[in-house]
Amino acid sequence: MNTDDSLPTDSDLEDSSFQPQHSRTTFFKKKLLLLLLLFVGIGAVVAGYSWYQNQQPTAIDETVFQDAQGVIATVGEEQIFQSDLEQIIPLLPASENTQEQGLEVLVNHSIILQAAQEEGVIGIPSELFNKPYKNQSARFEFVDQVRQTIESNFSVIQGSVVSIYFLNESPGIIGYEAGREFAQQKINAIHQQVTNGEITMQQAGQMIAADAELERVDSAFRSNAYFEFSAGPDEGIVIDPDLDPAIRALDPGEVSSVLVGKGMDLSDWSPTSDVQVEVVDAMFMFAQVDKKETNLEYNSFDEWLEAKRMAYQVSYE
């Protein structure tokens, strides 16, 4: 190796130990940078794969989830969970939103659904049955639909009513007695046409609604002229409940006589007065029954539910 201060010879350059200091430093920096980039790349791949895995849907272990929720009751084939109770309470009226009332509602709903499915009335959607994460609001609405379906299978009477009022809280502009006489003449003539088979009940109602003269006895004569009814055994048919038995006694297709219904005379009444409200004759009406069905086993939904409660075992945790 050259020992003086002259430039390096060819042999010096061939000597591997003879390298400029700045060249060795640059080499190590590049090597370190490459290693750093390699580690960063590996880390990015691992993180990306982990993120991808987290985005994929995972199967729910329902057994673990149910245990975590806590079973508070078992009704027949269905378990009731703490999460059900927490959801149902806000859906109840303020006077009934207690844990006791909420649990009673949950038990009744379970019995209704299971019994209705067993009778072939409905099929229970899987997402609304025996799961802790079911939507209680949707289930509440479904149970109400089931109740209506079941009620429609009980004793039902269907038909229509035609009426003319001569006192609708107060007499018409021609007075009570004159209004009564006028209304009776009108309805007797229309009733005769119906019983003779000349017009239908619906046509009779249309005739009354089109008779402007009836404004003299009832300002709401058009809306009171005609309505159709469908009533269970415990439901009222007309505004005067004393007339219901006469209507229920009719056979399908039969038209009643002209009936007189009662109403309240509020002519002289006010919230601050001491005037006694009178119940007086207020309207003429007649009815026709179109259909009568009777389920001899149950007369009401409550009676049906009470019977079904006896058929399902309920246990509380």
Q: Give the separation between CA 110 and CA 101, rounded to whole angstroms.
A: 14
Q: Is the pLDDT of residue 137 over 90?
A: yes
Q: How is residue 300 written in tokens?
A: 């009401």
40 — pLDDT class (breaks 50, 70, 90): low
The mean per-residue pLDDT over the stretch 10-19 comes to: 48
Residues in contact with 211: Cβ distance below 8 Å, sequence separation at least 6, in sequence order: 186, 221
Q: Give the separation between CA 82 and CA 59, rounded to whole angstroms.
A: 22
Compute the mean pLDDT over every residue in the chain, rounded to the nearest whole number.
84
Q: Is the pLDDT of residue 64 over 80?
A: no
Per mean pLDDT, which of 94-103, 268-277, 302-311 is the most reliable? 302-311
Do the beta carbons of residue 107 and residue 80 sit within 8 Å? yes
Q: Give the separation between CA 79 and CA 76, rounded to whole angstroms.
A: 8
Which amino acid makes up residue 165? Y
3-state helix, strand, coil in the chain (%, to 5): 50, 15, 35
Do the beta carbons of residue 151 and residue 231 sit within 8 Å? no
68 — pLDDT class (breaks 50, 70, 90): very low
296 — pLDDT class (breaks 50, 70, 90): low
Residues in contact with 37: Cβ distance below 8 Å, sequence separation at least 6, in sequence order: none
The mean per-residue pLDDT over the stretch 17-27 comes to: 50
Q: Give phi and psi for 229, each to the nearest 5.
A: -135, 155
Lowest mean pLDDT among 44-48, 198-202, 207-211, 215-219: 44-48
Q: Give the separation between CA 15 and CA 2, rounded to whole angstroms.
A: 11
